[in-house]
Structure 1
Amino acid sequence: MDSIIFDLDGTIWDPIDTVLNAWNSRIKEHSQIKRELTRIDFEGTMGLQMHDISKKLFPYLSEDVRVKVITECCETEQGYLKKQGGNLYHNVEEVLNVLSKQYKLYIVSNCQDGYIESFYEFHNLEKYFLDYENPGRTGLSKGENINLIIERNNLSNPIYVGDTEGDLNASRYAGIPFVYAKYGFGQVSDYDEVIEKFDELVKLF
């Protein structure tokens, strides 16, 4: 193994409380939306791309209104995350520091462009990662973005760490081992290794 590619939400951090505040502050401007979003609403969207998130959260809105709402919410969200960050899982920086001395580290997340940068900016963790990718920049699926990271960085034996069935499927698509972050947001049907908390990665590798 020469490298570790990480999912972000539910694997490295839990951003939901910050994101929830950002989105609810913005959807108040739209009279078609009758209620505030809840944490349960967001937990059910983890691992999805933005188009699918908008359909799940606002199925009663027309497509053009959904696009407008989701765009506004994502713009607001990035400002909130840059100022407030999210909840890092226990010992994240310590673990990344240890792992980065032996392995090349990367992030591939199903997020919009600018989201990973907001994570980096608030928590000052960019120094541990050599590259990152997301569908907001490429328009590609998570599996395709994993392959892009592998090809761009000439990786020979990477693994992927994530917490959802989508992460599992992306790993299988890319043909690399999958480590299931069981403490995250999702349930998976298969995995090659499993961790109950983030700092177990040090013992695993």
Structure 2
Amino acid sequence: MSHPIDSIIFDLDGTLWNATKAVTQAFQQAAGSVDYISDTVTVADVEAVTGQPFSAVYDKLFPSLPAEKRDEFKAICAEQELHHARQFGGTPYPGLADTVRNLAARYRLFIVSNCQTGYIEAFFQHTQLEPYFEGHQCFGTKGLPKAENIKEVVTNFHLQAPVYVGDTRSDFEASQLAGVPFIFAEYGFGQVPAAEAPQRISQPADLLKLL
């Protein structure tokens, strides 16, 4: 990076771990518990909406559902997703634990995700990495877009020179709106042209060389 960094804010899904298998199973179990969902939710479906705000996921996956049914199904899915995340978790990307420990010795670490409340805690439960992160924020807390949650973390923790690490275009756009430099995780679920996001990593450990 061309300027000093004092902190790193991470996205979660597609950046720190891949939990699409557990989330897909949660959707499938939720769908099996009601009589108004006929479509099968696949891993590819979940990957296509990973990183989007929690409520927007249902608009995209179930656009024909009436609003009342969508809200009902959203609540069922939310319960199942947290259950599966807590029980099965996701797969941390290779070298994540060592990378986080090394980074925490030099930078303040945070997570900002578009997930529901309790999901980041499930990540901590499975990875045992909570001691290395100073704070976190998610869509489920106040229903705020990611850019606002990034700003809130920057303000509340008095960060002077943060960067945001994410894997989707919406991560890139949120970081731009928040006025925070962006590092693109190429191994995740999205695409951002190199011309727009020249700072890129192909694995978490690359951050140790880049920063």
Instruction: Name the TM-score, length of structure 2 as normaliser.
Output: 0.94
Q: Is the 8 A contact 1:182 1:196 kept in 2?
A: yes
CA distance in 2, matches of 1:115, 1:84: 12
Of 26, 35, 40, which aligns to 1:36? 40
Indicate whether 1:172 and 2:176 are aligned: yes
Q: Is the 8 A contact 1:177 1:192 kept in 2?
A: no
Q: Deviations over 1:65-115 (max 9, x none)?
A: 111111111111111111211011001000000000000000000011111
Of 42, 50, 54, which aligns to 1:50? 54
Indicate whether 1:199 and 2:208 are aligned: no
Deviation at 1:192, TM superposition (A): 4.1
Q: Is the 8 A contact 1:108 1:133 kept in 2?
A: yes
What is residue 123 of structure 2 aligned with on the other side?
119
Question: What does 1:128-167 correspond to in 2, within 5 Å?
Answer: 128-167=132-171
Instruction: Name the TM-score, length of structure 1 as normaliser.
Output: 0.97
What is residue 68 of structure 2 aligned with on the other side?
64
Deviation at 1:28, TM superposition (A): 0.6
What is residue 21 of structure 2 aligned with on the other side?
17
SS in 1 for 2:49: coil
Q: Give the counterpart letter for 2:199 in structure 1.
A: E
Deviation at 1:35, TM superposition (A): 2.7
CA distance in 1, matches of 2:198, 2:161: 14
Gaps of 5+ in 2: none
Q: Deviations over 1:15-56 (max 9, x none)?
A: 000111112111112221113210111111022112210011
Of 7, 14, 21, which aligns to 1:3? 7
Q: Give the counterpart letter for 2:94 in structure 1.
A: H
CA distance in 2, matches of 1:172, 1:142: 11
What is residue 74 of structure 1 aligned with on the other side?
78
Gaps of 5+ in 1: none
CA distance in 2, matches of 1:84, 1:47: 19
